[in-house]
Amino acid sequence: MNQSPVVKTVFYVNIFGLDIFREVLNTRPDLRFVGLRDDSPEAEASAVLASASVYHISSSARDMVPQYYLNEQLLARAPRLLLASAMGAGYDPVDVAACTRAGVLVVNQAGGANAEAVAEHMLAMMLALSKRMVEADRNMRRTANVVRAHYLGRNALGKTVGIIGYGHVGRRLAEMCKAALRMRVLVHSSQDLGAAGVEQVSLEQLLRESDYVNVCCALSERTRGLMGAREFALMAPHAVFVTAARGGIHDEQALIEALLTRRIAGAGVDVWDVEPPPLDHPLLQLDNVICTPHTGGATIESRIQASEDAARQVLAVLDGQRPPRLLNPEAWPLFAKRFEAQFGFAPSGAPAA
Catalytic residues: 246, 275, 294
Let me know: does 52 contact 8? Beta carbons within 8 Å.
Answer: no
Let me know: does 269 contact 128? Beta carbons within 8 Å.
Answer: no
Cβ within 8 Å of residue 213, ≥6 positions away: 162, 164, 206, 207, 227, 235, 239, 240, 241, 242
Let me know: does 128 contact 134? Beta carbons within 8 Å.
Answer: yes
How far is the C-alpha of 52 from the C-alpha of 137, rounded, in Å? Answer: 51
Question: What is the SS3 assignment for 8?
Answer: strand
In 41-64, which positions are buried (b, 16+ CB within 10 angstroms) versus exposed (e)? eeeebeebbebbbbbbbbbbbebb
How far is the C-alpha of 274 from the C-alpha of 272, rounded, in Å? Answer: 5
Beta bridge partners of residue 13, listed in sequence order: 36
Beta bridge partners of residue 269, listed in sequence order: 243, 291
Listed residue (82, 145, 167, 12) closest to 347, CA to CA? 82
Let me know: does 77 contact 42? Beta carbons within 8 Å.
Answer: no
Let me know: does 110 contact 168? Beta carbons within 8 Å.
Answer: yes
For residue 171, the surrounding DSSP H or E stretch is: helix 168-181
